[in-house]
Structure 1
Amino acid sequence: MDTWHIVRNTLSILCVLVSFLPFLDFKHWFFRIFDFVRLQLLALLVVLFISGLFFSSGSLFLGTLTQVLLVMAIAYQLVIIWPYLPFRKQSKDVPEKAITLISVNVLQKNTDHQKLVELVKTVQPDILLTMESNLEWEKALSEIEGDFGFSHKMPKENRYGMHLYSKLEVKSCQGHYLISEEHPSIEATLIDKNGTDFTFWGIHPPPPSPTEKPTSKQKDAELMKVAQLVREKKMPTLVSGDFNNVCWSKSSKLFSKVSKLKDARLGKGFYSTFPVKPKLFRFPIDLLFHSRDMEVHQIKTLPAIGSDHLPLFATFTITDTGHKTVKAIEPEVKQEVVSIIVEGKEAAQEEN
């Protein structure tokens, strides 16, 4: 067998193996990272499969086995990403009283503040959520603060600062440290343009990566804690932010199940936000979830502002203000959520 066949077969088997790694219930970043690159893995798997159709692998048995494994991995990846393909057209006619949102990780070290300032002036969102915003960013955003009637500021120098600006009336707003004192989140009760109360959450849990946290435990725990609080409150809710989690991951799906919120990307497209460059490696981690009594009319990314994340833009309305009865969560799911939160708090003591 020549070098080409050895390289292709080895790469094929490796790609197949890492495609299934996130299925395993391991929290270490090495296992979780392959959840993020499913789109790129799928493209590579397809290329490898097609190459196998045109070039002999030297061994009939090995070649056939490799092709079968590639088909299995391609099918598995397609099943996972299929719900996010853009089968539904987004609304072109947005209701007059729709609420507009920009959610953006500004990248703390990004000094090109004016790009975001100009973007906000152009788009004129009703809600602006910034993440990784420190005191320097807070000072720069004072230029647009007058356009908003309310602001809640939680500047930090550890890349987890957060600021919320709103043109909507605010009934209450508070910052939380749900799992760790390093990672804030913001909860606000706002009033929409029709006079209906709703809850807005801004979150930014830490990612599992070689340069951040060694496991996904803190991230998963914060998602579950927010999901619990959303479920208990039983009112129209929208959760946005840098989840450091792809929309198709098991933890995102569990977040949706526990909170009873819907992923705004379902049927609309990927709208990948990170990294800005290279575009080929981009995946969706700035997420948006909403309750069933809300409708997200538009979701899209906005032009780059010098950050490693693209801003996420959405328009939404509250469609039903009636009281909803939420069924009790299944005991096994409830226990799983409690365990995840406990693990996350323990990890915060060990990893921070």
Structure 2
Amino acid sequence: MQDGQINEITLKRFPRYYGASAYIENLVFRFYPTPRAAFEVYEDGLVEGVAGVPASLLPNVWDNETLNLYTAPVAEMTMLYFNELISATVPFDSAPVRRALLYGLDRQALVDDVLLGQALIPATPVLPGTWAYTTEDVPGYPYDPAQAESLLRSAGWSRTRVTETLRNAQGTLLRFDLMVADEPTDLALGQAIAAQWTTLGISVTVRAVPPLALGAALEGRNYEAALVHLMAPGDPDPYPFWHETQALLGQNYTGFRHRRISEIIEQARLTVNRDQRLTLYREYQQLFMEEVPAIPLYVPVFNYAVDVRVQGVQLPPLMRTGDRFRNIAEWYVLQRRVIVSER
């Protein structure tokens, strides 16, 4: 501990563990202020691994022949929220407009260009790979700017020149702010999203704010659109986020209200049988992607850079980042072979 901060924790092998004894005797966690600082410490030879490598550092890892990179999806989903409570200024209460925004978004390009491919694209708001996730009868939204423009025209938004911003019959321009956390990756994502929507004739201004300010804006419904990171448990319970009773004071920050979706959420909470719950959650996902109160943008992957001498590492899907140690008993460290000469 230094200056009241824990900077190192050591775990020792438990000698009376009921299973096979682990090969590694001690596991030392060292904490650094930033991923870059941790990577620099690795280059100095003081650690054997760096957890949570961000996209900005991946080229450094790929260029380092002494590192293996392990990846696994994590129980988190990044979404684009639309505030339906401000429909007087921005038409986010219109499902066709929300669908148009999704059709007009090339999510794969965002993942490839901004996240360097280190994310999965979900088809629904439920975490992919979990028991409740399904794409059966769920509307799909491939990148289709022509379909996006058609939906916007049908909703009453048009322009006379491709360089113009869309406007409705009253002359109101289709423009809004996209709020993001003041963090390099989120800011880059926000700018890339705004650039894509601009080609549709939508004027988007990216507003970068501190994470705490973003949270306060969501709670106060004081935003127009926002880039939001959510924890996504393996056993979903959408009640806090999408039930209609949470639209004004709860965590349903979009203000979305849909009676049938709320009924499904209520029934799923009271149902024990998993097959019956799956049927309910299938309908929930179908309706959610028809209404699109928010855009499921991507599921991040956890990047774990480990020295090549450390073998046996396997990463399962991670409900928590600590799950990367699930098979720690099978890890081992290759020792340098020393040839001893006898006289």
Tell me the TM-score normalised to structure 2 length: 0.26
Greater per-residue helix proportion: 1
Q: Which has the higher contact order (CA 8 A, sep 6+)?
A: 2
Select the structure of larger CA radius of gyration. Answer: 2
Tell me the TM-score normalised to structure 1 length: 0.26
